[in-house]
Amino acid sequence: MSNPMNPSTGKTGRRAVMFVLLPAAFAAGVVFHEPIMRMVSSSTKPSEKKSEAQKQLWTCSMHPQVILDHDGTCPICHMALTPLTAGAHAVGTRSVAGTVVINPVVVQQMGVRVATAEVRKLTKTVRLIGELLEPEPAHVDINLRVNGWIDKLYADSDGKAVAKGEPLFDLYSPELTIAVDELIAGRKQKDNSKEPLAGSFYQATKLSRMGLEDSQIDELAKHQVAPKTISYLSPMSGHVTAKAVFAGSAVKAGDAVMRIADRSTLWVELQAYEQDLPFIKVGQEAKVSIPATPGESYTGKLDFIYPHMDMMSRTIRVRISVPNPNHALHEGMYASAEIATTLPGETVVIPSEAILDTGTRQLTFVWLGDGKFEPRTLKIGNSDGHGNAQVLDGLKAGDRVVTSGQFLIDAESRTQEAIQKLIADRLADPGMAK
């Protein structure tokens, strides 16, 4: 059978044997598939070596998909063809995936950039967001232990500021009146007999159980008769956060009359993600910023990490205490915090952009020089949030990793893989090149 491109047939030239490789270049949304590359070994079978000696193939440096069995020009761009053999594109076996060999000029055109792996400690600044809360221990409920009526209400509105020892309300209670009269009688009897009486001590204890302060009891004991009403004093400085009574309200033992909260110190309750937990520990100093007070920052201590995770947001609550001496901060305000910490020990650290994540493993290209790139499988640790990540296995200090152009390197490796496969097939069967 005559070759249609043979000069003896009167045609203009030989028939070009061409093939088209599957595109390996990436587009938006394309994800690496494992393995990232599979290179063809440079070794050839004895029959292939014999065929290689007998048959010379030619290709175009601009269009590697063009492979001819004769010298000449490329039918696409008309550039001079260059000799092609299986050994011309053979690569080493420094890793499982193989080494990619690319012309240094092409590497420069790809815009490949590299960075050096370093051994150092990883420092991270964890940024958290949350809100301000009034501390739970700073809330006190005022509960009555006797029956009676609110005769006068001093803390008469929610949010009203009160100081420790100030009266909250005056209570009329027959039970209290009787107990105070007994206390006064015991004091008078003690004054007349010049002997201590157990009865007066009992009445003082009884009034204490009714909710009166020791200072009040001492003062009431000096009276000649019990007063009509007894004032209940605030046990702490703060403000009224809840009020359930009005002037004239009837109350009974066990009723919660009001609640008082102290906000001289506030809690900043923040949400931490799982990956932030290795960097967060109780006792760390944190810098808190409040949008309501721009330009100001507050320093506090991380004093508690809640034990349970929020299953909806996949976060864990952490708590920081910040002073609020001027009461400029209020419950419910939004807040953010920064916690700077350094992980113990030193590990290999590389830029995060050098890591290619396939979904089941992480890889990187190591530059070996002279246009050679070796893919490595990595074991990645923590990242610092500033573009750096720990490498627990797969690299050593001084290795130079590719930070830009990895996809183009992978595309070139796939092209070489396809060429090597075709060359190996043709050298094994010289008739395929015709």
- Residue 77 burial class via C-beta count within 10 angstroms: exposed 0-12, middle 13-18, buried 19 and up: exposed
Mean pLDDT of 266-271: 95
Give the pair of three-digit tokens for residue 434: 């015709």
Q: Which of 179, 171, 178 is nearest to 206 (CA)?
A: 179
Radius of gyration of the chain (CA): 42
Q: What is the pLDDT of residue 90?
A: 38
Q: Which of 136, 148, 139, 137 is nearest to 211 (CA)?
A: 148
Per-residue pLDDT tens for 129-187?
Answer: 999 999 999 999 999 999 999 999 999 999 999 999 999 999 999 999 988 888 888 77
Answer yes or no: are the C-beta atoms of 66 and 60 closer than 8 Å. Answer: yes
Per-residue pLDDT tens for 324-351?
Answer: 988 889 999 999 999 988 888 888 999 9
Domains in the chain, ordered, with CATH?
7-91+408-433 (no CATH), 114-122+346-404 (2.40.420.20), 125-136+263-342 (2.40.30.170), 145-254 (no CATH)
Whether this model's pTM surpasses 0.85: no
Mean pLDDT of 309-328: 92
Per-residue pLDDT tens for 88-104?
Answer: 443 333 333 467 777 77
Mean pLDDT rounded to a whole number for the chain? 78
DSSP per-residue codes, 51-70: HHHH--EEE-SS-TTBEESS
* Distance, CA of 425 to CA of 55 (rounded, Å): 12
Mean pLDDT of 185-210: 69
